[in-house]
Amino acid sequence: MFYYDVVKENHIDGDLGNYESFGIAVFKITDGAKEKLCQIEDVFLNESKAIEFTQVCNDFQLSPVHIYDVVLDAIS
């Protein structure tokens, strides 16, 4: 089973200054053990959109091999 979670991040950018964004972490759950497979940072600026995105990934059990393409589709 795969589990997608929202990761809250704080960033400092020379042009933008301080800002908050939300990344996506992907975990594999096997026999109750949770192993982080990957994390994509700075994906969403809106927390509710990040939560909605991870919920869809969890509901459909998106294979992690597709996460980068799905993120690109979501933000394009």
What are 50-71's pLDDT values in tens digits? 999 999 999 999 999 999 999 9
What is the model's pLDDT at position 17? 95
Mean of pLDDT values over 31-59 = 97
pTM of the model: 0.92
Write out the residue range of the structural domain in which residue 23 sits.
Answer: 2-75
What is the model's pLDDT at position 10? 97
What are 5-27's pLDDT values in tens digits? 999 999 999 999 999 999 999 99
Q: How many domains does the chain have?
A: 1
Where helices occur in the chain by DSSP H, the ranges are 47-60, 67-75
Count of beta carbons in the 10 Å neighbourhood of residue 54: 21
What is the model's pLDDT at position 23? 98
Helix (H, G, I), strand (E, B) or coil at 11: strand
Q: Are 6 and 24 in contact (CB under 8 A)?
A: yes
Q: Which region holds residue 32: left if phi is over 0, alpha if psi is between -120 and 50, else beta? A: left
